[in-house]
Structure 1
Amino acid sequence: MGSIVSQGRKAGASALTVLELLAAEAPISHFESLVDDARRQGMGEADLALLETAKRLGLAVYAQAERRQRKEARLAAFIEAGKGIATVFDVPSLLSVLALKARQLFDLDIAWITVFGRDAGTVTVSACDGHTTALRTGLRIPDDPAMSSANAPFWTPDFTTDERLAHSYALDSLMESEGIHAVAAIPLTDGARPFGTLYVAGRSARWFTSAEVSLMTSLAELADLTIEKTRMLERAADCLSGAEGRRDEARTAAETAAVHGRLMSVVLDGGGLDALLDEAGRHLRGALRVHAPDGGILAGTDGMPAESETDTLRAMVDAHALREPILLDCGLWAAPLLAGDRDLGTLLLHPARPLADGDDRLLSLTAQTVAALLLLQHTTAPSASGHDRDWLLDDLLTSAQRPAGRFEERAARLGIDLTRPHVVVVARPEDEVQDNRTAIWASSYARRMNGLKSMHAGCAVLLLPGTDATAAAEQVSRGLTPLLDRPVTVCASGPVTSPAGVSAAFQEALRCLEAMIALGATGGFTSSGEHGFLGVLLSDTHDVEGFIRSMIGPLVAYDTQRYTEFTRTLDAYFDAGGSINRTAERLHVHPNTVGRRLERIGDLLGTNWQQPERAFEIQLALRLSRIQHVLKTRRPSLGSD
């Protein structure tokens, strides 16, 4: 160490000193003591400052290497867990292996798996791993819907204090007896059907990172594929003992399961998308291409025909709406790439011949395998931002009181600057059916525009960069309406330039949208600031005074200065249905007088004051002014009884 410090005394030698420590894989304590040792040896302040900087950079490299090693170790453990799961061929054994591998992979105390039964509200523990007392295989326990959602993972740092949970007496007692605090729950499926839930838990409170949750989801996705393959083999075995026709069905199922096993081997042996598509294309006898959620091409094989962006987007939307492969009019097959409620993209197949019996099932399994590979790649990427992109707008809409800096930091990781102008767009399809085509399109559109998307009460909510709210509403309307083949009402608000403004802009856009529907403007698009009277009714500020001034301000000012009665004349004219004679009767003046006054009113308000939309807003301003005057005259004086 002394020789190292002596080298550090020379200008520029500090960087070399730190590099030597890094090359020697020295313990971190050597880095920490480097500056103190040099100071005791009499190093000058300038060289000490240089050494301090080199030490800080060296520690950063050291930390990065440690993180990389941990990630590589966890990935290796994940691959081993996946291989262990994929080589099991009966469901009970599969669930036992899954519980064991999940507990070991995340270094937790307990893991167990519940499966859904016929009785609603209860589930059965089908596998359990770890030291337990009351929790055991075969135990029937109450189901908590918050944890066992069929679409999305759930996790909590402390089960005992989480108010999102139902907290039934039986389930709370079980958790207490096991001393469980931190819990993560990942849904399992058998094909498209909910199958059960994988739980991993610790006996102390802890936060699960988004990377851990993604890795858990990846493990569950591999298990889902193996469950389905195992079910296929079980059905094939049953068919073999039946009639001749069922034996053909058994052979098809067994061949499909075997191909699926080879596809899974490609994933677990480290193969990429290209290798997986090549293997799948040989068995499906066609060309394949994978599209990202925003429509971009991730990988593909030769032989795919060219299609328009609109056709690709429609294929993606339709396939995800049904959550299964579909045959398109152009002869292509489109299969959704899903991981629970996460949209990972779309798989397109151009078959060289019509699909044979069982090929559609193989296409579905291929899509699930591609989804598993994409999920694994997302999990091991330097920044797995998929979850955060899905949840950021939800948090902006519902948790506006959180520190703005935290939102800005999360958005920056997604390449979004919340301090730059953004508009909020709300789109509601008419007669929304129970599918997710709106959400799928909105997700794709938001990614293409570098924005965010959320869903609220059947409405798609988009946060998009820009300053023109009306133009944003028009683009959303023109993009979404043709895909859904039904009217879509769209309203936008903004721009906003801070996280705190997003929630207020959303509420304003939503009020505008509801007013449009109430006014019979279903299927149109607008912005909350485009129409004067809508701005008064729907904005947070309710600037009635400003609206009145903008509509009849010149008239009121002229009457005040000249003691004329133009405002009263205009009010009477509208009340008389636009009849000059009836107006004259109400005002007790000659019709020619009314005519001259109306000419002057036109000079003050503009020649278009009698156009229907303009006349409506002027009448509204007159009515508001009259009501305002009545309310002001009814105010009690200060100090009155």
Structure 2
Amino acid sequence: MNTNGPVAVQGALPNAEGGREWAIAGVEVARSGYLENSIPSVVSQVAERARKLLGMDMCAVMLPDSTQSRLMVAGSAGLSGQYIEHLHADHPLTVDRSGTSTPSPSVEAFVSGRTVDVPDISRSEGMVNWRELALAEGYASLIATPLREGDRTNGVLVGYSRAPRHFPDEQVNLLEMFAVHAGATIKAAHTREELQATIDKLHAANAVLRRQRRNLELVDHQHRRLLQVMANDVGISGVVSMLAELLNCSVTVEDTDGKVVATATSGIYVSPPHRAEREVPTAAELLANVLSKRSGAAEFPSLDGEGASFWVTPVTLQNEVVALLWVGRPRFQLDDVGRLGLEGFALAVALEISNQRNVAQRSFRLSKDLVADMLVETTPADRAALLKRAAALGYDLAANHTIVVLRQDPSAGADGLRHGLGDTAAGVVREISPGTLVGTTGDDVVLLVPSEGSLSAEEVVEVIRADHRRRNPDRSASALVWGDVSHIAEVAAAYRAAHGAFDLLARRKPDTVSRIGDLGVAALLLSHGDPKALSQFADRLLGPLDDIDPRRAEELVDTLTVWLREDRSTSRAAERLLVHVNTVGYRLRALEDRLENSLHDNSFLVDLQMALAIRRINAQS
């Protein structure tokens, strides 16, 4: 379409040879769309071919943007980058289908689907908004033909000439024929890119599936090896050794108190982060999150970026975290398979801990039953049976043993125990003194420590008390190391004496270890005195209390016991008994009146404590 006045025709019309050149160019352009060329490359080839065939100075291929509201230069030949930049930014080719505004020749060709030629830009109404930009670029005429695909227009092919120029119908027809090939070429390039993108996605998905399959095969291999190791009953040490081998790293299992349960390494052992490192806010938050989630592996990176990096996984039993599984080495990272494997090994460690606990509980239960049967008077036949039971459990009761009694110290304001004293003692002796027999009766924990063992009774007791304080920070325990017994028949009497001696130590400080020598003559009498004579001694001294109401007598004795424990402080005894201070004083005077002796007489006080201890031993017997 030409709305301008006559302009001189430039260039000759194409002859037959020229027509073949146009046809060949169209075929070659079409072929380029199916080759491994990018869309910008294909579009630029179209523009260059059209420029040469038309004998134009410049040529451009314009395509609509994603909203179909603007035409954008997708490829060009001869146009400057500055021109294209200004065209896009300052003089946009807006697609207006309403007809309310005068479109540019390029937009008119795109909207109408017909070729538009402008022989002289200076005389074209459609170039009013772009005339200055065109003159600055140096072109004086243009021709725009739509790139069509059936009834659909996909873009515009625009040729520019530096001089005014008219395009004959024959040349326009050839240009439109070329545009058909060019449009198909660009469409083919788009289709090829879409297909290639789909193929790439399929390749990526296939790679993911292959990787996942390989990962699942690796995880299955790990699980099979893990099941084999567990079937061989190698314990926690065997499980962590296999994990260290598979991941080529250091492995550590810690209980919830921070005590190391097992370690393994494939090279140089790297210990987990120290307490100070774990108390850094970010690290403390990470560990708190791990403990609250109770599952999954979390990365614990090196704080300075140079040390060892660790992954930590909670070991859970019955929804309770019982241990932490640490794996790491310098610059250590875990892939998906490693994390899955780590979680599987955490489960294996949990099962091994469960097995250990079950074995320990059964062993402790049998040990307690054995000790309970030893603390009563037995016949020779009973004692022979006890020796056999002990031997079956791995204890040699024919050797000398030291009797030890442990007892939880009173702690009125403390919360409940996290770990009982008996369980703590049993756990300690399993590790440091396997030949020690542990049992419980009432509030007492009773130990029979081999006299010729690698550790003395005092050393075993100190480890137990320290572990008890670590597990229960607000609680303490005291102990009485009584003495040696050389025969199983002596155990019951020795325990009764030790139990009574514990009660004699009413004025002792909590969290202490006492020995038989601390009781002086009282210990001698309790352990070697004639039971009948001792009973007569107690009855003679305490007889006046037998003549009053038993509840009243018990009240007086309890008050005396607390008063002695509180270092003869009437006020503290009143606080402990939850009574008025005058009530304590009244009861003590009543006791003095009944016994016809002063509680400030130290010799009488020793006799009184001895008599009370004998009464308690006799009552227990």
When normalised by structure 1's length, the TM-score is 0.33
Task: Flag the structure with larger Rg.
Answer: 2
When normalised by structure 2's length, the TM-score is 0.34
